[in-house]
Amino acid sequence: MRLISWVAVLAVVASGCTLRPSSAAGNVHSAADLYAANPTLADVRSLLGDSNWWPGPPSFGVRPLDSATMPFNEKFHVTMRFAHLGTAETLDIEYTLWDTTSSATAQMTNAQSAFGTSASGAKVGDQVLYYGSQSSSGAAPYDTVTFVRVGQIVTIITLGLKDAFPSVTLLGRIATRVTSRLKDVVAGKVHATPLAASDALLLPPLGPDLTLLGSLVLPIEAVVVMLGFESPEALATVLHTSGVDSIVFGDYALDIDTHMEVRAGVFNFSVSADAVTWVDELRGLNGFDTNRIATFYNTGSGEYFSLFTAGTKAAILVCRSTADVEAASRACEAPMSRIGPAWLLSLTSG
C-alpha cells in the first residue's frame, strides 16, 4: 500500500473518536514545527544509498483541509515526500500530532489491530511497528510502513521500492534518523524558519477562495518533482542556470471544497525573458486569456494549473485532490479564474 492507503485504514478506525482537551507536545505548536523535523536530503540519500533521491513538496494537514474526515482529536499533520529519479520509488514521511499521548497510543493499537503482528526490528521512540505489503501492479510494488510514536506524535514512514523488500535493519535505521530529528524539535533544539515578510508578499493575496496552511522557501528540485516533468535533472539545471535556485511556496485549502489542496509558487528569474520562456514550456499548447494567464486541466496528473509572468517572476498555481489517486474536483475552476488575476495584480503593483 502507499501512504494514503495505510492512513485511510487508520482514519476509519479513528473517525469515531471524541473531542478531548488540547495540549502541546513539547515545543511542537504548529505544523511548521513538525516540518522542521524532516530529515535532510543528505540523510535520505545516505540512508537509501543513491544521490538520485530528490525532495518533493510538503503538504500541511491543517484544518480546514479535509476537515470533514480529520478526527477531532488530531491537531494537525505534515507530509514530506521524496522521489527516486528514474524509478517509481518513493519515501513518504507523515508526522501527526494528537491531542494526548493516549490518543497517539490508540493509533498504534489501531495499526496493530488492522495490520497484525509487527516484524521484529530496532526499538525506536516510545513504540514502533514494522509492516510490509506487496502489490500486484505498479513499478514499485514492495511497500513497507513503519509507525513510530514519540509521546503525542505518531510518524508514519512509507517506503516503496521496485526490486525487493528492504531489510528491517534498514527500516530501523531510517526510523531512528527520522525520530532523532523529531526529538530535537520536541526538545526545542531544532526550530522552524518562518517565511520572510518580503517573501510572504509574493504569495496570492488574502481572499475568499483560499485558506493558507503553511508557507516556506523550497529548493527548486522540489517543484520539479511536484510537476512530474519527464526530464527533471535537465529542467532543474535550466532553472539554476537562469538564476533560480529556490521557490517561495504556499500550501492552501480550497474553501469551496476543502478536500482540494492548492499549491502556489513563485520563481524569481534574473531576466523577464527567462520567466516567459519557462511559463511557455509549462503551458505547452494551452493558450492565455485576456490577462495573459494560462489556466487549464492536465488530464495526465488530474490537476488544474494556472500560470503567468509578472516581470522577472513566474507564478504557478496548482489545484489537486488531497488523495493522490483522485482527480481534482471541478470546484477548482471558478476560484482559480479569480485567484490568478488578483495575484497578478498583487505582484505587478507591489
Exposed/middle/buried for 219, CB within 10 Å: 0-12, 13-18, 19+?
middle
Residue 13 has a pLDDT of: 42
Across 36-50, 161-175, 221-235, 308-322, least confident range: 221-235
pLDDT at position 88 over 60: yes
pLDDT at 17: 37
Q: What is the mean pLDDT of residues 124-141?
A: 91
The domain limits of the chain are 3-186, 197-349
Q: What is the pLDDT of residue 23?
A: 42
Report the range of poorest mean pLDDT among 17-26, 34-43, 65-74, 110-119: 17-26
Residue 132 is predicted with a pLDDT of 95
Contacts of 83 (CB under 8 A, 6+ apart): 53, 54, 56, 89, 90, 225
- Higher per-residue confidence, 15 vs 70: 70
230-261 pLDDT tens trace: 677 877 888 888 889 999 999 999 999 999 99
Residues 6+ apart with CB under 8 A from 262: 210, 251, 252, 253, 254, 317, 318, 319, 320, 332, 335
Residue range 255-278: average pLDDT? 94
Which H, E and C letters describe 274-293, residue by residue? HHHHHHHHHHCCCCCCCCCC
Helices 232-241 and 220-227, packing angle to 10 deg: 140
pLDDT of residue 246: 92
Q: Angle, nearest 10°, between helix axes 3-14 and 101-115?
A: 120
Average pLDDT over residues 89-109: 97
3-state secondary structure (DSSP) of residue 180: helix
Where does the pLDDT of residue 276 fall: very low under 50, low under 70, confident under 90, or very high at 90 and above? very high
Q: How far apart are CA 275 and CA 151, in angstroms?
A: 46
Q: pLDDT at position 224, please?
A: 82
Q: Which residue has the cell 500550501?
A: 251
Question: Given pLDDT bands bounded at 50, 70 and 90, which one contains residue 83?
Answer: very high
Largest CA distance in the chain: 61
Say what the pLDDT of residue 22 is. Answer: 38
Average pLDDT estimate for 217-235? 81
Say if residue 321's pLDDT is above 50. yes
Strands 90-98 and 127-134: unpaired
Residue 229's pLDDT is 65
In terms of DSSP H, where are the helices of 23-121? 31-35, 41-48, 101-115
Q: What is the pLDDT of residue 243?
A: 87
Q: What is the 3-state secondary structure (H, E, C) of 301-342?
A: CCEEEEEEEECCEEEEEEEEECCCCCCCCHHHHHHHHHHHHH
* DSSP state letter for 165: P
> Looking at residue 135, what is its pLDDT?
83
Mean of all residue pLDDT scores within the chain: 90
Model pLDDT for residues 4-23, shown as the tens digit of each residue: 454 544 544 444 433 333 34
Beta strands in the chain (DSSP E): 53-55, 59-61, 74-84, 90-98, 127-134, 142-150, 153-161, 210-219, 246-254, 260-268, 294-298, 303-310, 313-321
Residue 1 pLDDT: 37
Whether 3-186 shares its CATH topology with 197-349 is answered yes
Question: pLDDT category, 284, cuts 50, 70, 90?
Answer: confident
pTM for this entry: 0.89
Residue 295 pLDDT > 50? yes
CATH code given to domain 197-349: 3.40.1000
Domain 3-186 has CATH 3.40.50.12240: no
